[in-house]
Structure 1
Amino acid sequence: MRYTPIIMAIALAGCNTTAPPLEPVPGSLTYGRVVRSPYPPGTVINNTFLGKWGYRTFEKYVVQPDGTLKLTSQQTAPDFLVF
């Protein structure tokens, strides 16, 4: 029981609280280029496109103070046709 604080400290020391930055994929607004937005900083821009193998990709960008777009969210889901 006396080793519990030491074990907890060692376990938490290996934790990484930051996730790697999201990478744009083909079809993304910023894939292979820098995009400047006329909107004010902090504006959220949504983008939806058909990605690899017909999967729908949903992205969210935030306009930075210099006008560039930063990819903040990226989700992929199947695209179903409804008749």
Structure 2
Amino acid sequence: MRTIVAIAGLVLALAGCTVDSVGRPSPALEIGPGIEPIPGSITYGGQPRTRLTKSPIGSVVSHQFRNEFGQRVEERYILQPDRSLKLVSRRVYREPFWDD
């Protein structure tokens, strides 16, 4: 329950973000139902073969990787009732290098 409240608060806080001239949120934060997986995303190319069977429905799963430009990408997923993962937010950091 706390997770859902935290996500709702995050969504409300991010609703006030500015949008650049192309229509993307600044500074490179994407959130909403239209986010598409990119190479490196857990759900890129479809749902993973293994399912999270022990995690409670509504759990938040975080994933970090580097995109094709070497930028750090953080994504958040929510575990759905059918045990699939729904991509709900993505943040791309503009610096080209980062520490693991």
Say yes or no: TM over 0.5: yes
Q: TM-score range by the shorter chain?
A: 0.5 to 0.7
4+ long deviations beyond 4 Å: none
TM-score by length of 1: 0.68
Post-superposition offset of 1:70 = 0.2
- Counterpart for residue 16 of structure 2: none
Asked whether the 8 Å contact 1:62–1:71 carries over to 2, the reply is yes
Name 1:24's counterpart in structure 2: 37
Are 1:66 and 2:63 an aligned pair? no
TM-score (norm 2): 0.57
Residue-pair matches, total: 64
Structure 1: which 5+ residue stretches go unaligned? 1-18
Distance between the aligned counterparts of 2:98 and 2:56, measured in 1? 36
Unaligned stretches of 5+ residues in structure 2: 1-31
Q: How far does the alpha carbon of each residue in 1:29-60 deviate from its partner, in whole angstroms, 9 at most, with x for none?
A: 00002133222210000000011210111000
Of 52, 61, 68, which residue of structure 2 is paired with 1:45? 61
Distance 2:69 2:46 in 1: 23
Question: Whose strand proportion is higher, 1 or 2?
Answer: 1
Cα gap change, 1:50 to 1:40, in 2 (>3 Å): same
Larger radius of gyration, structure 1 or 2? 1
The CA deviation at 1:79 is 4.1
Report the identity percentage: 41
